[in-house]
Every structure is written in C-alpha cells, then in structure tokens.
Amino acid sequence: MLAAKSKRFFKKALIKTSILRAASRFSPPAAAILAYHSVVENPDLTDYFLGASRSLADFEKHVEILALKFSPVTIAEVAAFAASGRPLPRHAVAVTFDDGFADNHDIALPVLARFGVPATFYIMFNSVETGTLPWYCRIRFAFHTTKIPQWTHPQSGRIYNLTLPGDRQDAMQSAWDRGAALTGRVQDEFIDQIERSLETDPTRAHADHGLMMTWDQVRALKNAGHTIGAHTLSHPNVSQVTPEEARHEIAGSKQKLEEKIAQPIEHFSYPHPALNPHWSPQTLQILKESGFQSAVLTTPGPVRPNDGPLVMKRLTVPAHPDQFTWNLQVALLGH
C-alpha cells in the first residue's frame, strides 16, 4: 500500500519536473529574491517572539540547493536586471535577510561562506544601535507571555479577553496595526505602554540571547563580501506614516548606516510589520530622492526585466527543502 503510494508520488513528481523543464525553455527570463529573517538551531524555542525563523539544518540544505541547482547572484545584479534587463545567469536567485538579528552573523554567515553564496542583510538601524528587539517582536512576546486576563486598547478603548486565543490574537494584531503607523519616540512609548499594561518583561525576550547584531558583526558581514542594506530606523510601514516621517526613516537610515559601515548604502527593504499597502508612489519617490538603487517588497513573486529596481518582489522561504526547490522552480518560470 505504502509502496504503491510512494510510487504514485514519485511518478507525479517526475511528471511535474518534466513539465517544469519543458516550460522553462519557453518562459521569459525571471529572477528570484528569497526573504529570510533569522536562522536558529531550534526555531521552536524562539518562534514565540521572533516568528518566521528557519532551522540551521533546513538553511544548510537551502544554501546547498542554491549552490548546486541555481545561480546565486547579488542584489545589485538583480536590480540591474529589473532596471534595464541586464542579463543574469539562468535560474538566478538572491538571498536576503531583514532586520539584523545576531544569528545572521553567528549561524547563517558560516553556511553562506561554506557554499560561496552571497547575501544582502537589511539592517533596522535603531534595533542594532540599541541591541533591542524590533518592536513587532516585543509585541508578539508581550501577548504570548502575559498572565493578565484582559487588555484595553489605548486608542480604541476596546477590551480584549486574553484568556480566549482568538481575542488574544486580535489584540496582538491591533497592537501591530497601531505600531506600524508610528515611528521613533512615539512608537517606543506605545510599545512601553503595552509592556507595562501586560506586565511582561522585555529583557526576558533578549537578555539570554543577544539577539541583535553588533556593529562589528554587521561590518564582518560587509568584510566577507556581503551587501548591507537599509531597513529604516524604527521599522514602521513607511506608506502609513506622514511623508516627513517616511523621509526621515528612509533617508535617515541610509545616512546613519553609511556612517557606521563606511560605504555607500544603496539597497533598501520595505518593512511590512502590519497594514497594507506597504509602499506607494510617494515612498518610491522618496527612495529615488534618497539615492537608493534598489528596494525589495514583501509582495510575493519573481522579478522580471522591466519591473523596476525599486519595487522588486520576493519569495518567503518554506522550511522543507523539497518545497523550497519547487517554489523556486515555479517562481523562475515567472508565476
């Protein structure tokens, strides 16, 4: 029974693969950009505040697959392809990381080095500068660990019953929605207020781990040949804040990172903590004026020659290596 089942599975997989091969001969050129956040030994231990971590074991397989079956390229190469159609090798894939978690340096870097795969690390300036978890992680931590039975939203006044999982999830989402539209000090105060009202201790979320990179670690990534990019100062949704705030977050993170890294910062990743859309014609204009050469979105999809370098789509990364390969193959067909 099992044998017959697995035979059917392999037959299906074979058919799928040969269809993909045939289709790839006729498909227009496309590139893929992978969006990682963090790579840890055991995601189960950190997922309640980091979210979207991949395990070291899966990441090693991903990078090996990239090195063997695809053409790893830099974000600048994909940007040139998106801007003017400059040719890329077949099956070109760029690896990116958002936020600036310490595991990018401690765990991902040695794997990338072993397989010779380049990556781009988009740094959320304030978190690395202060060693504090990004605010959206602090909210996740607060709502997952609080023992307080109910929470009143400070703006809407709605009362959430935190003993009900659905209500707890809604409360967390409403806090993310609010935080995504705030920047800087006002955002800090909002997050502090949540931690106070939920009686959670934010140091517990990062004291043991040293979760953000230090500037020396960011410079080590640069010195290893990887690209450093900007991811704003305080991680708002830049299309949901005022134009002045968006300009400060976008241009300010470029300038401050350049001072820390001592090289031009030309690549940007749009934070997308909550709310839609996460970019607009106005943010596009600000990116241009600030001198960025490329920007990546969280909108899923491949990059095609005339997409434009400031609105490049990315792929979220499935954990399982087979799914990883399949998603890339499908994306590179342009779907």
Contacts with Zn ion by CB under 5 A lie at 98-99, 271
- Determine the straight-line distance between the first and last CA of the chain, rounded to whole angstroms: 35
Q: How far is the CB of 136 from Zn ion (least distance, A)?
A: 8
The alpha carbon of residue 150 and the mean position of all alpha carbons in its chain are separated, in whole angstroms, by: 31
Asked whether 83 and 267 are in contact (CB, 8 A), the reply is no
- Output the CA–CA distances (angstroms, integers) from residue 223 to 3, 13, 55, 122, in the order listed: 51, 41, 25, 15
**Based on CB atoms, which residue is closest to Zn ion, 88 or 296?**
296
Q: How far is the CB of 235 from Zn ion (least distance, A)?
A: 6
Q: How far is the CB of 269 from Zn ion (least distance, A)?
A: 7
**Based on CB atoms, which residue is closest to Zn ion, 136 or 324?**
136
**Based on CB atoms, which residue is closest to Zn ion, 81 or 121?**
121
CA dihedral 32, 16, 65, 73 (to 10 degrees): -20
Q: How far is the CB of 14 from Zn ion (least distance, A)?
A: 39
Q: Could you tell me the two tokens for 47?
A: 């997922």
Buried residues in 269-283 as b, exposed as e (16+ CB within 10 A): bbbbbbbeebbeeeb
Phi and psi angles of residue 270, each rounded to the nearest 5 degrees, phi first = -70, 120
Asked whether 205 and 49 are in contact (CB, 8 A), the reply is yes
**Based on CB atoms, which residue is closest to Zn ion, 271 or 302?**
271
Buried residues in 188-219 as b, exposed as e (16+ CB within 10 A): bebbeebbeebebebeebbeebebbbeeebbb
**Based on CB atoms, which residue is closest to Zn ion, 43 or 271?**
271
CA gyration radius, the chain? 21
Closest CA to 331 of 46, 32, 47, 106: 32
**Based on CB atoms, which residue is closest to Zn ion, 46 or 325?**
46
**Based on CB atoms, which residue is closest to Zn ion, 91 or 236?**
236
Q: How far is the CB of 162 from Zn ion (least distance, A)?
A: 26
Q: How far is the CB of 298 from Zn ion (least distance, A)?
A: 9
Cα 233 from Cα 262, distance rounded (Å):
17
Q: How far is the CB of 112 from Zn ion (least distance, A)?
A: 19
Q: Could you tell me the two tokens for 170?
A: 């809604």
**Based on CB atoms, which residue is closest to Zn ion, 91 or 272?**
272
Q: How far is the CB of 326 from Zn ion (least distance, A)?
A: 26
Give the nearest residue (CB) to Zn ion: 98
